[in-house]
Structure 1
């Protein structure tokens, strides 16, 4: 019973922490948007709007990473998951940053990126969260038996 209460409070305080960080991020994004409107300099807003979802995704992956940390085994990184899901999500999330790069002035590529950027921020926010989540969830621990089976599979 005591273990369930401790687990409840851990998740409860974790939820409060995530909520506070979300509130802080949304507040800062709003303030940067106001600054952008006043100064016509969109760079701080776009950079923050691009990087903040990565942090949120990493926060969502923390319970999983902590659970893996408590288990026994040797640390491994799932590069297949990272390259097949994480990198495309990172590319999609950083499309707004291309607005300030020379690539935005290249004919059809620039028009396509401008089209994607005008579609709203939901795509970029979700892609950034996915990248942050996959970055942390790609860490795993393999037990000694799994390591031996993997080594035998690779050898033979």
Structure 2
């Protein structure tokens, strides 16, 4: 029952943060329409999903940390999943960065229409990046990996050597 209330409280907190974040997004959208300054809105739309992704993984991360089960960082997961989503995030805010005379990659013109036609790409990439950031911390639940490596070792023991 204690675990239920723990997750329930986190769900309420995340829902409240999402609600307040969407209110702030609407405020920034109204300000963007009156001042014609796109930067605050697009930066917020790009970075807010990262916060939500982190919040979605935080309850389990806190339990793992409390139980002292975190034993390192899974760089392969972070680089394979997190880095790709981070590239989408950077590409979506790249036009707003004060980098003058920066040559854009050739493929950027083709994907910029996809990135800026809606906020879907930024939202998905932000959620994935935020979640992967905390999920990349290794926990000691390696039973499957250990059993597959034991199976591999057993197979290698009986494999004829050439």
Provide the residue aligned with 2:84 in structure 1.
88
Which whole-Å CA distance do the structure 2 matches of 1:128 and 1:38 have between them?
27
Q: What runs of 5+ residues in structure 1 fail to find an aligned partner?
A: 150-156
Provide the residue aligned with 2:62 in structure 1.
66
Aligned-pair CA distance for 1:100: 2.1
Distance of aligned partners of 1:74 and 1:11 in 2 relative to their CA distance in 1, 3 Å threshold: closer
Distance of aligned partners of 1:50 and 1:118 in 2 relative to their CA distance in 1, 3 Å threshold: closer
Aligned alpha-carbon RMSD (Å): 2.6
Tell me the TM-score normalized by structure 1. Answer: 0.80
Helix, strand or coil for the counterpart of 2:117? coil
8 A contact 2:78–2:132 mirrored in 1: yes
Which whole-Å CA distance do the structure 2 matches of 1:9 and 1:103 have between them?
54
Which whole-Å CA distance do the structure 2 matches of 1:24 and 1:63 have between them?
20
Tell me the TM-score normalized by structure 2. Answer: 0.77
Provide the residue aligned with 2:119 in structure 1.
121
Which whole-Å CA distance do the structure 1 matches of 2:107 and 2:138 have between them?
38
Which whole-Å CA distance do the structure 1 matches of 2:36 and 2:103 have between them?
20
Provide the residue aligned with 2:14 in structure 1.
18
Provide the residue aligned with 2:44 in structure 1.
48
Q: What runs of 5+ residues in structure 2 fail to find an aligned partner?
A: 150-162
Runs of 4+ in structure 1 deviating by more than 3 angstroms, as ranges, are 101-110
Question: Which residue of 30, 33, 47 corresponds with 1:34?
Answer: 30
Aligned pairs, how many?
143
Provide the residue aligned with 1:152 in structure 2.
none
